[in-house]
């Protein structure tokens, strides 16, 4: 009887993970960044940078020199924006003065804002509406804005957005943080008792930038601009005794998982599973103080 029960529980768990996975996405993974059919060339101009993308005059004299970037970012150079507030206060980010600045906020923030700012950089073809079909639980707010500096509120207000930039550092050991450590190169090591358990239960998929040997939050920390609706997961090695991941960044079974909004981890608010907490788990990768593990709960991840 015990053997039958164990097999039944295993099959139920396997079925749950299978339901969370997408083996064959039915739409192009580039999603909204197909830009009405223009595809990769909407952001990356194979010739002549922003000029090659139809910009007649640009203040960005280095346009296209990095990543063949085809959007005019000249109006953003050296601008200071005050990004979102947190328990630590608000954050000041002075954008790089060129695409060759060499800091992580070039590709991690500046390039993103060339399309997603709407205030200082308003020339890109953004419609300021969400591309994806939203779950019914989102209510009637179907036009979720996609611009940081012009989001139907006060023009130039960035405080209602998540902090990003070279001053938006990630920490360990504080009242709001994980029991993790940061090594000399700025890597976040989820090796504490609670943080390592979280990696087994969900994972650590975020990609912080590194500045002055500290991990910093970029737009690309949470978002993978090339994959809108799916994320490929590779399970790490799980210790047979402790059941913790000893190599790799997740204990989830390998496979393709549903995501939304270009989030770089399993994230599916459209899940119909009662008690699904995967979207909360994504945020807890950095906000460890609000996690099950740090609060002493044994809850894992429910898809």
How far is CA 8 from each of CA 108, 251, 273, 303, rounded to the nearest angstrom? 46, 21, 19, 18
**Residue 163, token pair as written in the block:** 């902090």
Reading the chain (303 residues) residue by residue, the pLDDT tens digits are 445 444 443 334 444 454 567 767 889 999 999 988 889 998 999 998 888 888 776 677 788 899 999 998 999 999 999 988 876 678 999 999 999 999 999 999 999 999 999 999 987 767 777 878 877 777 666 567 789 999 888 889 999 999 999 999 999 998 999 999 999 999 999 999 999 999 999 999 999 999 999 999 999 999 999 999 999 999 999 999 999 999 999 999 999 999 999 999 999 988 889 999 999 999 999 999 999 999 999 999 999
Largest CA-CA distance found in the chain, in angstroms, rounded: 76
The answer to whether the beta carbons of residues 30 and 228 sit under 8 Å apart is: yes
Q: What whole-number distance in Å separates Cα of residue 160 and Cα of residue 180?
A: 28
What is the secondary structure of 64-107 as a DSSP string? TTTTTB-S--GGGTT-EEEEEEETTEEEEEE--SSTTS-STHII
pTM above 0.75, yes or no: yes
């Amino acid at each position: 009887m015990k053997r039958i029960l164990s097999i039944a529980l295993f099959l139920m768990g396997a079925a749950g993970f299978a339901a969370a996975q997408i083996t064959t996405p039915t739409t192009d993974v580039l999603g909204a960044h197909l830009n009405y059919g223009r595809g990769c060339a909407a952001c990356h101009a194979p010739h002549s940078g922003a000029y090659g993308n139809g910009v007649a005059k640009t203040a960005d004299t280095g346009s296209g020199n990095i990543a063949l970037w085809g959007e005019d970012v000249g109006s953003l150079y050296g601008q200071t924006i005050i990004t979102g507030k947190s328990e630590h206060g608000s954050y000041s980010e002075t954008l790089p003065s060129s695409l060759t600045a060499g800091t992580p906020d070039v590709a991690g923030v500046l390039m993103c804002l060339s399309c997603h700012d709407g205030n200082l950089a308003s020339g890109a073809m953004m419609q300021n509406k969400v591309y994806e079909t939203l779950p019914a639980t989102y209510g009637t707010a179907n036009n979720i804005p996609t611009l940081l500096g012009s989001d139907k509120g006060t023009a130039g207000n960035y405080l209602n957005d998540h902090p990003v930039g070279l001053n938006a550092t990630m920490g360990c050991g504080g009242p709001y943080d994980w029991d993790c450590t940061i090594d000399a190169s700025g890597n976040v090591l989820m090796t504490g008792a609670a943080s390592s358990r979280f990696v087994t239960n969900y994972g650590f998929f975020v990609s912080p930038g590194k500045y002055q040997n500290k991990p910093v939050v970029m737009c690309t920390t949470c978002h993978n601009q090339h994959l809108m609706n799916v994320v490929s997961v590779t399970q790490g090695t799980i210790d047979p005794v402790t059941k913790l991941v000893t190599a790799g960044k997740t204990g989830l079974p390998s496979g393709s998982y549903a995501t939304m909004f270009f989030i770089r981890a399993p994230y599916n608010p459209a899940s119909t599973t009662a008690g699904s907490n995967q979207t909360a788990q994504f945020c807890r990768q950095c906000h460890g103080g609000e996690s099950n593990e740090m609060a002493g709960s044994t809850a894992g991840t429910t898809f």
